[in-house]
Structure 1
Amino acid sequence: MAMPKDIGIIDCMLGIPESEHRADWFDSFKPMIKDAETLKQFSMPAQYMFKDIPQSGAVDDFVQWTVDEMDRFNIDKAMVGWNDNATSRRAKEKFGDRFFFDLPCDPNKGVEEVRRIKRIHAEVGLSAISVFPAGTLPQVAINHKYMFPLYTCAAELGLPICLNAGIPGPRIPMETQKVEHLDEVCWFFPDLKVVMRHGAEPWEALAVKLMLKWPNLYYSTSAFAPKHYPKAIIDYANTRGADKIIYAGYFPMGLSLDRIFSDMPNVPFKDEVWPKFLRENAIKVFGLGA
């Protein structure tokens, strides 16, 4: 049950900072924030949940800094959000073998967003699209009609969609991210691969039931230090769900790689689960090849 040391890890949620201070992390939904602590004191929107948020300090080249951090922990590849800016383009051009990309999307933009997905996919070769339902403005639920054009587009392009599920960390309403909403989506789009992000708590047992029910529903461990992986998820991975649980971190948004990989060896996965969790499931779901 020990974590193997010879696997080239694939991290399915990692970020490349744009600056030392990263003050714009929640600009898109800041109008929803009402509590003074978040607005005046937090450098990231769920700061109350995290200790020792990583700081890069002054860095000349944030892309190279990120790759150097990956190398320290044998992270072979990482999925990062495509921002259609100089940093994203440089990451692809210089380290196209190390990064693959999801495109964060806004369902409120309708067909304009569908066109943007198709354009960027043609230019970049996306591996997924993603939506933070509680962080859309106005908020859009996982099963809301505004989401269906994005699901249709992803299904047509053969792209998975990553969705935050469970109570959001930022102090904004949770209704849009109830795990039960996934049932309708998986029913209506049986060929669409859906990957849950950010824990699905407190409905992690329901998340397991839905993964048993729907072949193309998956779970990634983003934003959770390994010591806090839900027991229901570990038990599922060790029994019927070894092919459904995908490693995703949260560096540098909230967790350091030191914290993640100091915790990781204590996760009680069975020997046969580790290669799937750390690498093989990501290759399968996101179409990465060998």
Structure 2
Amino acid sequence: MTIDVWMQHPTPRFSQHDMFDSLRRWTGQEPLSEELPIAFTLAAMDQAHVDFGMLSAWHSPREGELISNDEVAAVVAAHPDRFAGLAAVDLFTPMQAVRELRRAVCELGFKGLRVVPWLWEVAPTDRRYYPLYAACVDLGVPFCTQVGHTGPLRPSETGRPIPYIDQVALDFPELTIVAGHVGYPWTEEMIAVARKHENVYIDTSAYTTKRLPVELVNFMRTNTGSQKVLFGTNYPMINHAAALAGLDELGLDAAATNRYLSDNAARIFGLGAAST
């Protein structure tokens, strides 16, 4: 089984946003002019034998809902065997954000919260995140975020693992944190934070297998690292087949491969019994 822990089924208003101009330059993709059928996303997953995806909602501080929680919930409801939802909230209205997170988890069945710090230009140690961290602990769901530089046209400082993820993990040791995009060019910092904190994990979204930093691959080959890294794509930026190409060249044993592709995600997001 393979689980993609970071993907979007894009709406036109998400796809057309000018902050993604740099990504379109790199990938050659054109913005959507109309709604994308879910069959298109399912076909991309099927081509690479990806069984399940964590679909992210997106909320922008300027434009509001780029992909709404309810739009994600509708896709999940139609295909519950293929998707689960990750909520997005308005970071700048903390109480409303907490209420929306609780609605998404308790009523819509979402499995976690994702906040992308560069989108808000606010580091994860900002006071406005802290009610959400407490709510995630209370609800028993992970906080998913981004680490490393930004491909989109936004500042990168908020993606530093040290001091930001390290400090949040110190303040909320019960909070499960899944840090996506490997942390480059601070990957060694991200690995150090994941080693240090029991509940901090890394996902490989936005990187193909062949572009994973060598220090992360070496970490994945260790017993600790094999339990700390999750597969992700950031689809549609990277499709699933391209993301997985070269997997056999990583030098992971069968147990480490299974943990990376599915077991870690199943355990962390409560998707069912994970094998050991």
Please, what TM-score do these two structures have when normalized by structure 1?
0.83
The counterpart of 1:71, out of the listed 42, 46, 56, is: 46
**For 1:160-184, what per-residue CA distance to the aligned partner results, in whole angstroms no more than 9, with x for missing partners?**
0111111111232222221111111
* Deviation at residue 61 of structure 1 after TM alignment: 6.1
2:130 maps to amino acid: F
Q: CA deviation at 1:19?
A: 4.3
Deviation at 1:21, TM superposition (A): 9.2
User: Residues 154-206 of structure 1: CA distance to partner in whole angstroms, max 9, x if unpaired?
Assistant: 11111101111111112322222211111111111111100111121111111
- Which has the higher Rg, Structure 1 or Structure 2? 1
Separation of aligned partners in 1, 2:192 and 2:28: 34
Higher relative contact order (CA 8 A, sep 6+): 1
CA distance in 2, matches of 1:113, 1:100: 20
Matched, 1:16 2:16: no
Structure 1, unpaired ranges of 5+: 1-7, 31-37
Q: Which residue of structure 2 lines up, in the alignment, with residue 101 of structure 1?
A: 85
Counterpart residue number, 1:231: 214
**CA offset at residue 66 of structure 1?**
1.4
Deviations 1:81-140 (A, max 9, x none): 14446742431222011101101233212111111111222221111101110111xx21
* C-alpha contact 2:87 2:101 (8 A) present in aligned 1: yes
Q: Measured at CA, do residues 166 and 56 of structure 1 come closer, stay the same or move farther in structure 2, by a change above 3 Å?
A: closer
Paired with 1:155 and 1:276, the residues of 2 have a C-alpha distance of 24
Q: How does 1:210-221 map to 2 (within 5 A)?
A: 210-221=193-204
CA distance in 2, matches of 1:274, 1:214: 22
Identity within the alignment, %: 24
The aligned residue for residue 175 of structure 1 is: 157
Q: Which residue of 1 aligns with 2:23?
A: 46
Give the C-alpha shift of residue 65 in structure 1.
2.0
Aligned-residue offset at 1:69: 2.1
1:193–1:167 distance in 2 versus 1, CA, 3 Å: same
Match of 2:60 in 1: none
Kindly report the root-mean-square deviation, in angstroms, between the aligned alpha carbons of the 2 structures. Answer: 2.4
Task: Evaluate the alpha carbon distance shift between residue 260 and residue 123 of structure 1 in structure 2; reply closer, same or farther with a 3 A threshold.
Answer: same
Per-residue CA distance 1:239-281 (angstroms, 9 max, x = gap) = 13110000001221x1122322334333332332100000000
Q: How many angstroms apart in 2 are the aligned matches of 1:21 and 1:197?
A: 19
Distance across 1 between alignment mates of 2:205 and 2:51:
17
Shift in alpha-carbon separation, 1:62–1:85, aligned structure 2, 3 A = farther
1:143 partnered with 2:143: no
> Which residue number corresponds to residue 33 of structure 1?
none
Question: Aligned pair in 2 of structure 1 residues 57, 201: CA closer, same or farther (>3 Å)?
Answer: closer
Q: Does 1:110 align with 2:94?
A: yes
Change (3 A) 1:85 1:205: closer
**Normalised by the size of structure 2, how large is the TM-score?**
0.87
Deviation per CA, 1:13-58: give whole Å up to 9, x if none: 122133499213x5xxx5xxxxxxx7xxx2xx5334x3344x6989
